[in-house]
Amino acid sequence: MDKIIMQGMKFFGQHGVLHQEKELGQRFEVDLVLELDLAEAAQRDNLAATVSYADVYRVVEEIVTGPPFHLIEAVAGAIARAVLENFAPLQAVTVRIKKPGAPVPGIFDYVAVEISRRRAG
């Protein structure tokens, strides 16, 4: 399966279990791997044979900057569902959400969740 990779999308959201995470918010980074057949797009040079990453970006942005979730697992699940529902050519998606400011004592780059979902059928 061919892939479109969208890496390092950054948004400000208010997801988290702790009150201050919902109150103050924080930065989230999202990476996507979109799996689909790109043969026709490559051969015909036609946007209609693929998906617009600008449109995918807007879907991700709406979810991450929208109503808060407690868990980044839930944010990742919402993104996976929305992307598969809104972009028919996609066969599968992998979503990685990084939370660089996670309220964890210690020194680290980020905490992340990665999920993969495949179109049913």
8 A C-beta contact, residue 97 and residue 110 = no
Distance CA 16, CA 47 (A): 37
The share of the chain scoring above pLDDT 90, in percent, equals 89
- Tens digits of per-residue pLDDT, 11-34? 999 999 988 888 999 999 999 999
Confidence (pTM): 0.95
The residues annotated as belonging to the active site are 99
- Tens digits of per-residue pLDDT, 60-75? 999 999 999 999 999 9
- Tens digits of per-residue pLDDT, 43-60? 999 999 999 999 999 999
Bin 45: left if φ > 0, else alpha if -120 < ψ < 50, else beta.
left
